[in-house]
Structure 1
Amino acid sequence: MKPRKQLIDAAVANGSIDRMNMLLSAAHLLNCEANCLVEEASDLMTENGLLLGDLKKLHNDFVRVADKYFKEFATLVTTDTAKMDLFSDLDGFDSAFREWAKVPNDWKPKDVPSNETDL
């Protein structure tokens, strides 16, 4: 078995490390976006009394795991420049994704008059 340094040097030389960094960065942006969308949906479910039962439990499980993931990933982003680059990338990706998915960020619920007979 090759020593670890040799393996890393070979992966750097053949471009695998650069490719891995790009794939993990892209995956992280997708995870950030997915987390934001799930949180927005859960806020709507909560506001409308729809986050119930197993869905509520599974959502809470998801949030705990996502928090652990993002906390661990944050240890890899060590400089202020890298942090600002990440936020800039996420803002740009979020804007482009929301346009593509037709889920604008500035959505507001319709103002529906209440029906007093529903009380």
Structure 2
Amino acid sequence: MKPRKQLIDAAVANGSIDRMNMLLSAAHLLNCKANSLVEEASDLMAENGLLLGDLKKLHNNFVKSADLYFLEFSSLVETEKSKMDMFRDMDDFDAKFREWAKLPSDWKPKESEE
């Protein structure tokens, strides 16, 4: 078996490390977007008394897991520039995704006549 450094050097040389970084960055953006959509939906469910039973329990489990994931990922973002680049990418992706999905960020519930 090759030593770890040799494996890493080979992966850098053949472009696999760059591809892996791009895939993980894209996956992270998607995870951030999915997490924000779940949170937005759960806020609506909670406001309307619909976050109940198993759904509430599973949502809480999801939130705990997502928090652990994002905490670990944040340890990989070391410089202030990298953090700002990541947040800019997330904002840009959010705007494009919301346009594509027809999910405006300024949505408000309709006024009820009760």
Bin of the TM-score, shorter chain as denominator length? over 0.9
After superposition, the CA RMSD in angstroms is: 0.3
Say whether 1:31 aligns with 2:22. no
Structure-1 separation of matches of 2:108 and 2:79: 36
Q: Please tell me the residue identity of whatever aligns with 1:39.
A: E
Name the structure 2 match of 1:87: 87
Q: Secondary structure at the match of 1:108?
A: coil
CA distance in 2, matches of 1:58, 1:103: 24
Q: Does 1:69 align with 2:66?
A: no
- The number of residue pairs the alignment matches comes to 114
Give percent identity, aligned residues only. 77
In structure 2, give the amino acid aligned to 1:83. K
Report runs of 4+ in structure 1 exceeding 6 Å deviation.
Answer: none
Report how far residue 68 of structure 1 moved: 0.1
**TM norm structure 2:** 0.99
1:104 pairs with 2:80 = no
Deviation digits for residues 5-63 of structure 1, max 9, x if unmatched?
00000000000000000000000000000000000000000000000000000000000
CA shift, 1:112, in A, is 1.2
Q: For 2:91 and 2:76, how far apart are their aligned partners in 1? A: 19
CA distance in 1, matches of 2:28, 2:61: 19
Once residues 104 and 57 of structure 1 are traced to their aligned partners in structure 2, the CA distance between those partners, rounded to angstroms, is 28
Q: Which has the larger radius of gyration?
A: 1
Shift of 1:111: 0.5
2: CA distance, partners of 1:19 / 1:48: 43
TM-score, structure 1 as length reference: 0.95
Q: Which residue of 1 aligns with 2:5?
A: 5
Q: Which consecutive residues of structure 2, in runs of 5 or more, have no partner in the other structure?
A: none
Per-residue CA distance 1:93-112 (angstroms, 9 max, x = gap): 00000000111100000011
